Every structure is written in C-alpha cells, then in structure tokens.
Amino acid sequence: MRALIIVVMLFSILNVSAQQVRNFKLKDIENNTQSFTQLKGSKLTVIDFWATWCKPCVKAIPELNKIYEAYKIKGVEFIGVSCDGPRSVSKVAPLSKTLQIKYPILLDINSEIKSELNLNAFPTLVIVNSNNKIVWVHEGFVSGDQKLVIEEIEKLLK
C-alpha cells in the first residue's frame, strides 16, 4: 500500500516533455489510406477523437466545422479520428456526411492512435504543432468549449 501511494504521488506531480504524434496511417470514410503527414496543417493540426455513439462528440462537430472553416486559411488543419469499433463503425460515413463534416474523417477501429496517445475520454481534442508535438489536450465537450478551442488556437498561432 505504501509503495502504491508513493508511485501515485510521484506520477501525479511529474511534468515531462510534450508527447509527439507519429506519422500514423488510417483509412478514411472513402476507403483511401491517409497518413498524418499528408493531412497535417502547416502551423497546427487539431485532431478530434470521437465516436458516433458519443453524444457530446456529435454535438461538438458542428462547432468544430465552424472553427475549421475559419482557421484553415491560417495553416490550421482538422482531422477527425473515429474510434468506433466493429459495433458502430458502419455509422461513421453516413453520420459524417449528414453532418457535413468538412475535414477528413479517419477510421481507427482498434483505437490504436487513441491508446498510443493515452487518451481516456470521448471526445478528446488534441492540438499538434508543426513539429508533431502535442501542445494541448482537451477532454469532453460542453457548451462554451468552442471558445476555449478558439482561444487556444489563437494563442498557439501567435
């Protein structure tokens, strides 16, 4: 028990270097293989880890669409990574199209990229800089969070 408490305390206060996103490859909803390098923004890349069965994820999408439209000319690209497993992956394409998502949607049926980045919630928004380093992570989505995303993008673009 003592060892457990020490380990917990140690790692709760640790603050180590930023995590990096590797050049992963996944299929998009059109059945094309896409790589992170092909899709990343020249300045920033916002990756949205979502799933069709997650209500806050679906709620966030129209807001993310708006932010993407406003910032794509400033070197900010968006990538949607659907973590729907075999049970619900068939719904990703029709839902994405009906929601008119403007940015590419990739299918991570094994949640491999999400696990690699140690993400534990849906939705999770990750902002990656031009050196592929994760500079911001935001879990969940409630009304008003779109302002936080915009503020963070603005701050990182400066």
Partner 1 sequence: MTKIVKNSICLVVIVLASFNVFGQFNGTNLVEYQFGEAPNDVNAISSIYDRFVANFNYKSFRSDVTLEQFYSEYDGSNYTNISQFSVQYNSDKIQVKLGNFYETIGRGTLLHSFQIPGAILEDLSYRSRHYFNRDILGASVKFQSNNFMTKVLYGSPLNYVFPPNQNSNLRRSDTIAALYSEYTYKNQTLGAAIMHHSNSGNEKLFSMITLSGSISPKISYYTEVSKNIKNNSINDFSDAASYAIYSGVNISLNNIGISAEYKNYNNFLIGSGINEPPALVKEHTYRLLNRSTHVPQPLNESGYQLEAFYTMPNLSVLTLNHTKAINKFGQKFTFNEYFLEYDFMLKDKHDIKLFIDYAEDPFKLEENRISTGLYSEWKAGKNSTIRTDYEFQHFDRLNEGNVNQVLSVGYAYKSKIIGSIVAEHSTDNYLVNSGSKYWLGANLKYKLNNKHSFQLFAGERRGGPACNAGVCYEVLDFKGVELRVTSRF
Question: Which residues of this protein are in contact with partner 1, per CB under 8 A?
Answer: 1, 3-4, 7-8, 11-12, 14-20, 22-23, 25, 29-33, 35, 51, 53-55, 58-59, 62, 83-91, 93-100, 109-112, 114-116, 118-122, 136-145, 148
Shortest separation between residue 146's beta carbon and partner 1, angstroms:
11
CB 44 to partner 1: min, Å: 16
Output the six-digit token pair for 7: 């380990």
Q: Give the list of residues 6+ apart from residue 39 with CB closer than 8 angstroms, or none.
A: 45, 77, 79, 104
CB of 62 to partner 1, least distance (A): 5
Residues contacting residue 92 through CB under 8 Å, at least 6 positions apart: 29, 52, 82, 84, 105, 107
Distance in Å, CB of 115 to partner 1, minimum: 6
Pick 3 or 73: Cβ nearer partner 1:
3
Q: Tell me, what DSSP letter sits at residue 86?
A: T
